[in-house]
Structure 1
Amino acid sequence: MGVLDFLLVARMRRLIIGWAMMVGLGVALALGVVLPTKYESVAKVQVDSIQRNDLTGLVEPRVRVAEYLGQQAAVAASRVVALKVIDMLVADGALVLADYESRWRKETGGELVAGNDKRLWAADELLRDLQITANDIESTLELSYRAEDPAQAARIVNAFASAYMETIIDKKQRQFSRKAASFSDETRSLADDVNRAQDELAAYREESGILPLGVQKIEAAEVEYAALTARLAEARADEAEALSLLRQAQTTPRDQLVNFPLPDDAIPGRQAQMRLAAVAATLARIADRFGPQYPDYIEAAREKASLEQNILQSIIDRADYATRRVVALEASAAQMKADLTEMQTMRQKYDLLENKVSASQDTYNLVATRSLQEALQARVDSIDVFLLARGVPSSKPATPPFWIVVLLGVAAGAAIGAGVAVFIELYEGRVRSAAAVRQALRTQITGEVTQPRRKGGFAPRLFIRKTA
């Protein structure tokens, strides 16, 4: 098809083209007038990607930053924050709730029921134009708001940023306040435990009548008990030796006691042996000269028997002394052992009470310090969020310029108009010939049926049936 043919076709279809242009121009003008020009203002908030361990109190990096920022974005886009924005704007005079009353009554009916409040509805209207973008790499939230007035957009987005930070801070303060209150209750409970432990220690001191026992005192008692045990063992050995010596002396004939081996400590026996030896010699000399009937012999014999009895008695006394010494040392050792055991038990109980007091005091100090930290955290003005950039009035609209809107409207309107015009022409147009139908539909024609002329002077139409 050449240019002349195209112009010829355009001339023949001038009504269609005119209709399309008229519809396109109308759509363009309608879009240009109806579509409002909006300005966008952006505020950026820094959110710390760190957290505090509840058990240790240490600050550590968050593991799931994206999820945390998603939660923060949900908080920023919540109705609670929007209501605070409404209150801020109304207090500053930048917003009047009466301006929303007509629209609120029109869309909701204006019935004062639960959830249908003008203030809540206005907050939801503000949230429609609010967009929040979270950046987990920078750990920031970008709040953007669109309005027809650039200054109003900046005021609202700044109000949203301030309300969000205030909400987070208030949440943190309430959280730390609850923790501080919990720690205060725990501190009071621990203080009572410390007082009870101190009372138990004082009562035990008063009941036992002792002062704090030092380690040196118990060690001295243990050393003394060990020395007494050694003396007892030595005494038992002496007793065994003395009893053995006594049994030997009792089985030894009396005339041989003069040569009986006595220990060095048996001084009376040894002296009696020395005297017995002299008396025995005298007795033998008298017997050789005068005989056993001589008075001096009888007196010497009596003295000899007495000395032999003295030797045996000294051995008996030595064994008896050893036995009594062992019994006395055993009694002293038993008493000292009982005293030492009681002292150790007392020391253990005393140490246990002291450790209980010390542990209670340490726990109380730790909880009191943590309570003070939580109380200080509850008074912090800014904790986790920082305003990096405030929203400023934008000089360029966020919506496309007017001429772009007009061009888009012309294109859309022309397409709509052309489509409608072609549809009308095809609906009202006539089929000129069978060849035209064959060329347009690319099918074969089985026959032509002439429609009877209608009343009213309409020309006959051709009904074409496709082949199977």
Structure 2
Amino acid sequence: MNASLFLLILRARMRIILVTFFVTVVATVLVSLFLPKTYTATSTVVMNTKGTDPLTGMTLPGQLLPGYMATQVDIISSKNVALRVVDQLKLAQSPAVLEEFNRATEGKGSVRDWLADLLLRKLDVAPARESSVVDIIFKGADPQFVAAVANAFAEEYQRVSIQLKVDPLKKASSYFDEQMKTLRDNLETAQSRLSKYQQEHGIVSVDNRLDVETNRLNDLSAQLVAAQGQVMEAQSRQRMAHSDGAESPDVASNALIQNLKINLGNAEAKLAEVAQRLDRNHPQYQSAKAEVEKLQRDLNTQLALTSQSVGNNARILQQREAAIREAFTEQRAKLLELNRGRDELNVLSKDVESAQRAYDVTAQRFAQTKIESSSETSDVMILNPAVPPVDASSPKIALNIALSVVLGGLLGVAFAILAEMLDRRVRTDADLASLDLPLLGEIDWKASQRPRKGWLRSSMPSRLRLN
């Protein structure tokens, strides 16, 4: 089918096209006039996607997730929000609504759930593509009612968003409160153990006392080393004094013994001189001999006394060294006891510090959670509240007529083609050629009537053209 044939078909079937077009337009106008009017109200809300809590200053990563807007749309269109809207507008208390509910459900189920389902059917939530704005759209027959319902959905969604944020914080606050009681008891127990240990051991300042005792131990250690040196020297002098008194430095340095030795030498020299001159029985000889013997006895006595004094000094030094050693041992044991006590005290102090740190962290978290749980701030703000619409959103008569014109024209053309297919007519010479029939001539309805030459041409109509 070419274009010329299509136009010939449309021309031939113009009555069908016009009737179909007229019927479609008239039917659309009548339906649009008799359809009930529907009003649409839109309440716009905006999400706070800055990612920061205005109360605590903490980052809110949930708002940065890809599915955040989809989650908010699901919350707005949830059954919980719809039930809150029903309660806010007190729809379930209307006698007309109760009568309609009983007629529709025969009293089965809950009127609140039934109303919530009805509201959700007429609700549409449209989030913006590249912004944080969400349109809450509600349709109905009453302009005042649809605006009230749209605003109620926005307000209840705002309250639900606050509740979803606050309820977990309240539970966390209750949990932290219980934990604080336990941690406070642990802290008091650790502090009491530390205080009891300090009182039992008389510890005021472990570090200062430990420094004093350490200095004392160092002093005793130095005294012990010095005493051991003195004892070794005294023992050596004692052995030398007992083995060879003359060679002993203590004997040699004794002034009395030196005088006695000098006197003894003089007396012996005198005795030798007298022995050369006198006989042994001479009184001078006897006197000189008695003096020498007396000096010798005195010298031996002083040597014995000196050796004994050296031994006594050695024993005294040994006793002093033993006393210092004993004091050093006691001081070392005392210092070890102090170190052990300090370790135990450090353990108890660390227990107190750990308990205090845990209590402080929990108290800080509890205070923050308590503040957050009592906050009524929301991440949702109502940007544009819904107002009662003046004009109905549907039916749109002008748009419906325009669409009916297009649809009527398309249906008319379709019916014309269908009629042509059901009742095929010869429109052009190509149709005869397809039927294998000879073409004798054509009538040109637009040709002018001019005189023909010749007897054959003058006898035929002027619009007839012979082949």
Which TM-score tier does this pair reach, normalised by the shorter chain?
0.7 to 0.9
Identity among equivalent pairs (%): 22
Q: Do structure 1's residue 378 and structure 2's residue 366 form an aligned pair?
A: no
8 Å contact 2:9–2:416 — kept in the other structure? Answer: no
Q: Which runs of 5+ in 2 are unaligned?
A: 273-284, 439-467
- Aligned pair count reads 417
8 Å contact 2:41–2:139 — kept in the other structure? Answer: yes
Q: Do structure 1's residue 225 and structure 2's residue 225 form an aligned pair?
A: no
**Which stretch of the first structure deviates more once superposed, 298-307 or 59-68?**
59-68
User: What is the alpha-carbon distance in structure 2 between the residues aligned to residue 161 and residue 179 of structure 1?
Assistant: 28
8 Å contact 2:167–2:373 — kept in the other structure? Answer: yes
2:185 counterpart residue number? 192
Deviation at 1:29, TM superposition (A): 2.5
Give 1:268-279 correspondences, 5 Å limit. Answer: 273-279=254-260
Deviation at 1:352, TM superposition (A): 2.8
Shift of the 270–68 alpha-carbon distance from structure 1 to 2, 3 Å rule, reads: farther
Shift of the 314–147 alpha-carbon distance from structure 1 to 2, 3 Å rule, reads: same
1:19 counterpart residue number? 19
Shift of the 445–327 alpha-carbon distance from structure 1 to 2, 3 Å rule, reads: farther
2:275 counterpart residue number? none
Shift of the 42–60 alpha-carbon distance from structure 1 to 2, 3 Å rule, reads: same
**Which stretch of the first structure deviates more once superposed, 136-145 or 64-73?**
136-145
TM-score normalised by the chain length of structure 1: 0.77
Residue in structure 2 matching 1:411, options 406, 409, 412:
406
Tell me the SS of whatever aligns to 2:59.
Answer: strand
Give 1:29-428 correspondences, 5 Å limit. Answer: 29-33=29-33, 35-49=35-49, 59-62=58-61, 64-90=64-90, 97-98=97-98, 101=101, 104-105=104-105, 110=106, 112=108, 117-135=110-128, 138-206=131-199, 208-251=200-243, 253-254=244-245, 256-257=246-247, 260-262=248-250, 273-290=254-271, 294-399=289-394, 401-427=396-422
Shift of the 29–398 alpha-carbon distance from structure 1 to 2, 3 Å rule, reads: closer
Offset from partner CA, 1:173-202 (integer Å, 9 cap, x none): 211110001101111110121122123224
Shift of the 221–230 alpha-carbon distance from structure 1 to 2, 3 Å rule, reads: same
Deviation at 1:346, TM superposition (A): 1.6
1:459 counterpart residue number? none
Matched letter for residue 390 of structure 1: P
Offset from partner CA, 1:102-148 (integer Å, 9 cap, x none): 7844xxxx583xxx644324323322332323358653333222333
Shift of the 50–404 alpha-carbon distance from structure 1 to 2, 3 Å rule, reads: closer
Shift of the 419–140 alpha-carbon distance from structure 1 to 2, 3 Å rule, reads: closer
User: What is the alpha-carbon distance in structure 1 between the residues aligned to residue 167 and residue 208 of structure 2?
Assistant: 54
Larger radius of gyration: 2
8 Å contact 2:426–2:432 — kept in the other structure? Answer: no
Deviation at 1:164, TM superposition (A): 0.6
Shift of the 354–58 alpha-carbon distance from structure 1 to 2, 3 Å rule, reads: farther
8 Å contact 1:31–1:409 — kept in the other structure? Answer: no
Shift of the 96–74 alpha-carbon distance from structure 1 to 2, 3 Å rule, reads: farther
Matched letter for residue 276 of structure 1: I
Offset from partner CA, 1:208-241 (integer Å, 9 cap, x none): 3424334322212222221121111222222233
8 Å contact 2:49–2:132 — kept in the other structure? Answer: yes
